[in-house]
Structure 1
């Protein structure tokens, strides 16, 4: 079977639907608190439960997307999103809202797992993830501008996610019914060979642990950003929504720049320096007491957040062309996102918003170190020793180092060395060689 998905468009649409819930987290948590009478910590806990269900779906499906088939898994996830988020939007019973959020969150995680596995099989996974982030940022920005004018209540954010999932459903026909890059039949018996073990185990585990902390720190602030704007900065919901929309629009520019740069700067510099800039923006946002300070922190933060995220997703995809590390690292990120709202709520209640920002800034700087180290460690080592000499030279090394998945002619890291077979060549007798050389001038004449 081909290792390439059939089309990028359905994968980007699926990525957008799966990522929409985390992007709308501030308005979801804020409206749960205002509409259902929950405390900020309780509303944050509901948001964490939703995202925890999304992360659990990713961990569950990391190695099963190929067996289930991308089309079937995607339709199951989108159906769960419509059912779960739709039912949560139509009820005011807190237990039913939580149950709907869990079902919808599991559907979001399923959609993301299918999208991540397919994106990892693209020739340029960084470009594919960049397109997905562009689409989800534009969709979320439009919703932030629209929802405040449609009324209050917790139902509208949930309903918008359900509608987005329903709109993506027809596009799943472009996904393969079977594994897009699954087991390959053996030529002798036609039996499917088992999946190879995960490559880059140590780097993948370090990256997953670091991105969990990275996502938790950022989404701890993102989950309470709406309350910071409303209470500490004294802004209206319409103004806060406009700031979020502008911030997400600025994020589009950042992702576009990241897509244009591609791998020219490598992955280590954007990940390390970008995370340091984000840490400063977190401090500014958490201390904002006016519209200029709040807008500056949120806008600059959202410029760099999707840029760094796109490089992290590309790095995870490059560790395994079959997409398993992409799904696992994405699920670890979702787990960090899930812990974010309750972490931000607890920290803000205990230490205030400025104290919370200081803690989160330190956590981001700590997480930047191992992520940068993984980017440095895995770059420039895509091939086994000696394979470049025999399988394409410098062009093959450049191709393997700049794309997320290597072509079939380039062996992957960890592949066994090719044996060099000695071919006996008969050497002609000395008298025969002399007779041959004597005969050559007359042949030319």
Structure 2
């Protein structure tokens, strides 16, 4: 059976596109591991196994996330000017070296330095990954797929992490992190070509033009970036101590581990729903609902002494963030077609996540878990205000700009 050259070229392009997409999904999981691993990282490993105080443990993770923020702020404005594959491979290689070294050191100062270096490496790679996703033919769908992949990864981390730390020590967790970033580097090296496209057979995934790179990012985008930053701060503050809250209330390792596994399983649901409801739900309404749900869930976790309510709220907590962010990702991709705003996604998320563990640790030391819950609720209110401003500005923009100009 003969195949025409055109069919062969089309099949080859589709294969390259699938490989590139797979590499980006793997890289998303490795770069966003903090989103699913915080309870194990902070609670089980640094506090439970290594005996660090809450503020000390929070500072280490904050340094990692601060490194991601700094790297993203440097790379995002320059997205499209550097070879994407080299940036992603190099960034994850640095993160792998940092995590592997954490297995060997015990000095707090060295641990702090390695956390910061790991964050810089992961943030550099992740900025480029999200920029490429933003240049794909359907950013909303690609990011939903990334959320689903992250949910599967979360099941592995949350299901096995506490048990591994309990039996083999905290340092073993860093070996798992090193394996994740190493896998992402290898996938990018194998499947991401020099063209930096997500799917080379789709015209919409071409590199941004020089005109797009020079044009300013629309002002309305900044409110969305600030709002998701507030949501990520709220997410990190509470999620960092979910494991500790459960253990301190006497629920036991088996129950708390089961709840964390439930978190990972439930995290598979929001990306699928976000993909299916892309055309059915208005992005503005989803963005307003997200912070409201965060506020209610935070109060349920910290203010009510009920195992069942705690379990429900903890399980759906991260899912609210994933669902809301997927719609925001698609909205920003439409507002800024250069991909630079979405290349700053790690900065949007991690600037909140970087502050979260440390601030939460200080609050827990000073006012307990109830004080933590009230602060998370206040941050959620700020996120709601930002998204309300974004919706108002977007509605006005749509009314002024004719549809034919898009």
TM range (shorter): 0.7 to 0.9
TM-score by length of 2: 0.86
Distance 1:229 1:122, change over 3 A: same
Q: Please state if 1:99 is matched with 2:113.
A: yes
Name the counterpart of 1:229.
246
Name the counterpart of 1:195.
213
Say whether the 8 Å CA contact 1:15–1:111 is kept in structure 2. Answer: no
1:145 corresponds to which of 152, 159, 180: 159
Aligned equivalents of 2:145, 2:195: Cα separation in 1 = 24
Say whether the 8 Å CA contact 1:26–1:222 is kept in structure 2. Answer: yes
SS of structure 2 residue aligned to 1:66: coil
Counterpart mapping for 1:267-416 below 5 A: 267-378=283-394, 381=397, 385=401, 388=404, 411-412=405-406
Unaligned runs of 5+ in 2: 1-13, 198-205
Aligned equivalents of 1:123, 1:51: Cα separation in 2 = 30
Aligned equivalents of 1:78, 1:288: Cα separation in 2 = 41
Post-superposition offset of 1:260 = 0.6
1:11 corresponds to which of 20, 24, 29: 24
Name the counterpart of 2:223.
206
Aligned equivalents of 2:50, 2:57: Cα separation in 1 = 9
Q: Please state if 1:164 is matched with 2:177.
A: no
Post-superposition offset of 1:138 = 1.2
Name the counterpart of 1:51.
65
Post-superposition offset of 1:90 = 2.6
Post-superposition offset of 1:385 = 4.4
Say whether the 8 Å CA contact 2:46–2:57 is kept in structure 1. Answer: yes
Post-superposition offset of 1:369 = 2.3
TM-score by length of 1: 0.79
Q: Please state if 1:256 is matched with 2:277.
A: no
Post-superposition offset of 1:141 = 1.5
Aligned equivalents of 2:304, 2:121: Cα separation in 1 = 36
Post-superposition offset of 1:219 = 0.9
Q: Please state if 1:84 is matched with 2:98.
A: yes
Say whether the 8 Å CA contact 1:78–1:169 is kept in structure 2. Answer: yes
Distance 1:243 1:387, change over 3 A: closer
Post-superposition offset of 1:35 = 3.1
Q: Please state if 1:128 is matched with 2:142.
A: yes
Aligned equivalents of 1:272, 1:67: Cα separation in 2 = 35
The structure whose Rg is larger is: 1
Post-superposition offset of 1:22 = 3.2
Q: Please state if 1:217 is matched with 2:230.
A: no
Aligned equivalents of 1:90, 1:383: Cα separation in 2 = 59
Aligned equivalents of 1:383, 1:86: Cα separation in 2 = 53
Aligned equivalents of 1:375, 1:141: Cα separation in 2 = 34
Post-superposition offset of 1:358 = 1.8
Post-superposition offset of 1:288 = 4.6
Say whether the 8 Å CA contact 2:228–2:325 is kept in structure 1. Answer: no
Q: Which moved more, 1:4-13 or 1:299-308?
A: 4-13
Post-superposition offset of 1:144 = 1.4
Post-superposition offset of 1:377 = 2.9
Distance 1:243 1:381, change over 3 A: same
Post-superposition offset of 1:225 = 1.3
Post-superposition offset of 1:169 = 2.5
Aligned equivalents of 1:300, 1:15: Cα separation in 2 = 21
Name the counterpart of 2:49.
35
Post-superposition offset of 1:381 = 4.6
Aligned equivalents of 2:117, 2:254: Cα separation in 1 = 30
Distance 1:194 1:306, change over 3 A: closer
The count of residues paired between Structure 1 and Structure 2 equals 378
Say whether the 8 Å CA contact 1:88–1:98 is kept in structure 2. Answer: no
SS of structure 1 residue aligned to 2:133: helix
Name the counterpart of 1:404.
none
Post-superposition offset of 1:338 = 0.5
Aligned equivalents of 1:135, 1:87: Cα separation in 2 = 27
Aligned equivalents of 1:373, 1:303: Cα separation in 2 = 24
Distance 1:320 1:102, change over 3 A: same
Aligned equivalents of 1:240, 1:385: Cα separation in 2 = 51
Aligned equivalents of 1:143, 1:329: Cα separation in 2 = 23
Structure number with the bigger relative contact order (C-alpha 8 A, sep ≥ 6) is 2
Aligned equivalents of 2:240, 2:401: Cα separation in 1 = 47
Distance 1:293 1:182, change over 3 A: same
Say whether the 8 Å CA contact 2:230–2:380 is kept in structure 1. Answer: yes
Q: Which moved more, 1:81-90 or 1:173-182?
A: 173-182
